[in-house]
């Protein structure tokens, strides 16, 4: 039987995780409405939710927030179990895992911006490898690397800076 | 037990603590970033940029795996000669209408000159990938590039 403070703490984590999952979902849907000059690249604003969860709630909830966003977002957009859904899930999981490791072991080295950039890199590499294995099955898919890496660098930086400013303002501070 | 959130680094209190009224006293975005960013951030950004730039040159050569090494020349469905595509050369083939000049170069193999009326075979230009063909119907000539045809996708979408 958990103590009252512990159960309060768990309730708080649950509520904040749900809030961040909702925030990520809204960002994900908002992004789907934005016009995209480069159709294969999007800013990844939903990753702000994952980063905030990682820094204020811990790695477990960060992964949960990411998976919930991918699942619910694909259900709302009608892409559930599409090829694109699997790419999205792989990208989300890989970036969440890499960001959790970077945040855990690179605390003295990186701020959120560095962690976000590593997450963006992991996202691109995971999606490209999965697309290469499942769909294209040709090594020439590596030609897409610069087209994916350049936008990812900027998107990761912007998402990182946005998360930095939000954390600095004390979002989710108890 | 109370939950202590992890901080990015030492948070700037100025934004929260009563300076809202005077925008001139608030640190600019640039100043805040300079204060918050660590060396690893610049390192990751730099390496990321380097990787993104380097990836322009990473996969050199357009699919050498599917390039054919040899070709077979058929006239009236009979095999007339076998050609080594590694070696630049020019030779003539006697087809149904007359002589035709075939050229092998670095870009692949092509029909350089043909006596046929429509010149479709000449206009096709060089072919180089395994499984591709040069065909001249009026001349009854078929040149097949040896090897299994690769899965050359025209487009992939998802």
Residues of chain A with pLDDT below 50 are none
In contact, A92 and A21? CB cutoff 8 Å: no
Which of A6, A140, A161 faces B1 most closely, judged by CB atoms?
A6
| CB neighbours of residue B109 within 10 Å | 23
Q: Which pTM was predicted?
A: 0.70
Query: For the segment B66-104, what is each residue's pLDDT rounded down to a tens digit?
Result: 788 889 999 998 899 999 998 999 999 998 888 999 999
CA distance B146 to B112: 20
**For residue B42, what is the DSSP state?**
H
| Side-chain-facing half-sphere of A54: CA atoms under 13 Å | 29
Q: In degrees to the nearest 10, what's the CA dihedral of A76, A79, A84, A90?
A: 50
Residue B82 structure tokens: 């076998």
Which of A109, A156, A169 faces B40 most closely, judged by CB atoms?
A109
pLDDT band at B149 (very low <50, low <70, confident <90, very high): low
Query: For the segment B42-64, what is each residue's pLDDT rounded down to a tens digit?
Result: 999 999 999 999 988 875 544 44
Residues 124-153 of B with CB under 8 A from A: 151, 153
CA distance A34 to A164: 23
Residues 61-100 of B with CB under 8 A from A: 62-63, 65
- ipTM for the assembly: 0.88
Closest CA to B70 of B93, B38, B104: B104
């Amino acid at each position: 039987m958990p103590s009252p403070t512990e159960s309060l703490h768990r309730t708080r984590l649950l509520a904040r995780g749900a809030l961040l999952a909702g925030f990520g979902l809204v960002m994900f849907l908002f992004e789907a409405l934005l016009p995209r000059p480069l159709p294969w690249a999007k800013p990844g604003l939903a990753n702000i939710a994952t980063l905030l969860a990682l820094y204020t709630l811990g790695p477990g909830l960060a992964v949960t927030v990411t998976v919930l966003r991918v699942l619910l977002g694909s259900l709302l957009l009608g892409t559930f179990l599409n090829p694109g859904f699997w790419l999205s899930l792989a990208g989300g999981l890989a970036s969440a895992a890499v960001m959790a490791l970077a945040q855990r072991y690179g605390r003295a080295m990186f701020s959120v911006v560095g962690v976000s950039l590593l997450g963006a890199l992991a996202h691109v590499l995971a999606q490209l490898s999965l697309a290469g294995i499942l769909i294209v099955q040709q090594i020439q898919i590596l030609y897409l690397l610069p087209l994916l890496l350049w936008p990812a660098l900027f998107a990761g930086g912007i998402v990182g800076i946005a998360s930095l400013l939000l954390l600095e303002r004390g979002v989710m501070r108890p | 037990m109370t939950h202590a959130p992890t901080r990015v680094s030492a948070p700037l209190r100025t934004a929260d603590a009563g300076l809202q009224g005077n925008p001139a006293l608030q640190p600019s975005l640039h100043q805040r970033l300079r204060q918050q960013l660590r060396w690893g951030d610049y390192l990751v950004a730099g390496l990321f940029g380097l990787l993104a730039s380097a990836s322009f040159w990473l996969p050199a050569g357009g699919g050498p795996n599917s390039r054919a090494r040899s070709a077979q020349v058929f006239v009236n469905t009979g095999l007339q000669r076998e050609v080594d595509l590694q070696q630049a050369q020019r030779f003539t083939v006697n087809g149904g209408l007359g002589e035709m000049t075939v050229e092998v170069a670095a870009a692949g193999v092509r029909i350089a000159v043909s006596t046929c009326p429509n010149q479709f075979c000449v206009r096709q230009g060089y072919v180089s990938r395994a499984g591709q063909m040069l065909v001249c119907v009026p001349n009854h000539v078929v040149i097949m590039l040896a090897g299994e045809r690769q899965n050359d996708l025209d487009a992939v979408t998802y």
